[in-house]
Amino acid sequence: MHALSADSRPSPPRSALPPGAPEIGVLLREWRAARRWSQLDLALDAGVSARHLSCVETGKAQPSRELVIKLADALELPLRERNALLVAAGFAPKYPESTLATPELAQIRRAIEFILAQQEPYPAFVLNRHWDVLMANAAAARVNGFVLGGRPMKHANMIRQFFDPQDLRPAVANWDEVAGTLIRHLHNAVAAAPGDAAARALLAEALAYPDVPAHWRRRQFDAAPSPLLTTILHRDGHELRFFSTITTFGTPRDVTLDELHVECCFPVDEATAALCRRLAAEAIG
């Protein structure tokens, strides 16, 4: 069956678009540009005719809900962006967005708390897609308190912590390396989600902090982030060296879970491990 006739089947009634919501054609073009795909590339991947896709992008044809889902699958969109694509086409969002405090995610929260506890005496954090620190274990507080001399963190966002000279930044011995990697991740996040205004604003804010190299304003296509980054924290002749692993949730069915990741820090050397153990013992008293 020709894809054009298949997509002309009756579909559920569409709701009115929210005020200011982008049309689906605009979103599709933005996502194709982010993926560097042509209309033909997307049409072949989604199993639709290039002619019909062109009509959808120009507003000459309205896609069915099934086609929107196929296009989102082909573009490998995050769940939030899949919802946005459905809403732009006039359909209700498919995926719920819950907070970790809701009963529906109680088991997930317990699993996260278990991961954080198991990481002791080394730091671990739970972050969302904009690097906001949602949860952390006691080791994270101890290590941050040590390198900051007991001063509390100024920000609850990891990007701001590393870029603000009034926060963690002075305690990072290899700041250029760590911050440069974070900037590359931010550039990639903005490019991968063209509709994410918060990510663009966070990138602009990070670049506006003092002494940020001017060339960081340009996305570096030939400089992939290092697969293993060591963060070196120092204070009064002491150094703590950590590398991190990232845990995400497979096949999430909730927007919140899709955007969460758990970052666990591990000591690079025995001196770091010993200092972390000492801080834990001192906290117990």
Mean of the pLDDT values across residues 28-55? 93
Q: How is the chain split into domains, by residue range? A: 3-88, 103-284
Above 80 in pLDDT, residue 269?
A: yes
Of 110-114, 191-195, 210-214, give the lowest mean pLDDT range: 191-195
Residue 208 confidence (pLDDT) above 60 = yes
Residue range 82-104: average pLDDT?
Answer: 93
Percent composition of the chain: helix, strand, coil (DSSP 3-state, to 5): 50, 10, 40
To the nearest 10°, report the CA torsion of 142, 266, 271, 143: -10
What dotted CATH number matches 103-284?
3.30.450.180
The answer to which of 3-17, 50-64, 163-177, 183-197 has the lowest mean pLDDT is: 3-17
Mean pLDDT (whole number) for 255-268:
95
Structure tokens belonging to residue 44: 């072949």
Give the pLDDT score at 12: 37
Whole-number Å distance between alpha carbons of 267 and 243: 7
From first CA to last CA, the distance across the chain in angstroms is: 74
Average pLDDT of the segment spanning 56-70: 94
Among the listed residues 118, 122, 96, 65, the one whose alpha carbon sits nearest the alpha carbon of residue 280:
122
What is the pLDDT confidence band of residue 34, given thresholds at 50, 70 and 90? confident
For 276-280, what is the mean pLDDT?
Answer: 97
CATH topology of domain 3-88: 434 Repressor (Amino-terminal Domain) (1.10.260)
| pLDDT (tens digit per residue) in 126-184 | 999 999 999 999 999 999 999 999 999 999 999 999 999 999 999 999 999 999 999 99
Cα-based distances in Å from 4 to 44, 52, 61, 64: 13, 6, 10, 11
Strand partners, 136: 125
Give the model's pLDDT for residue 222.
64
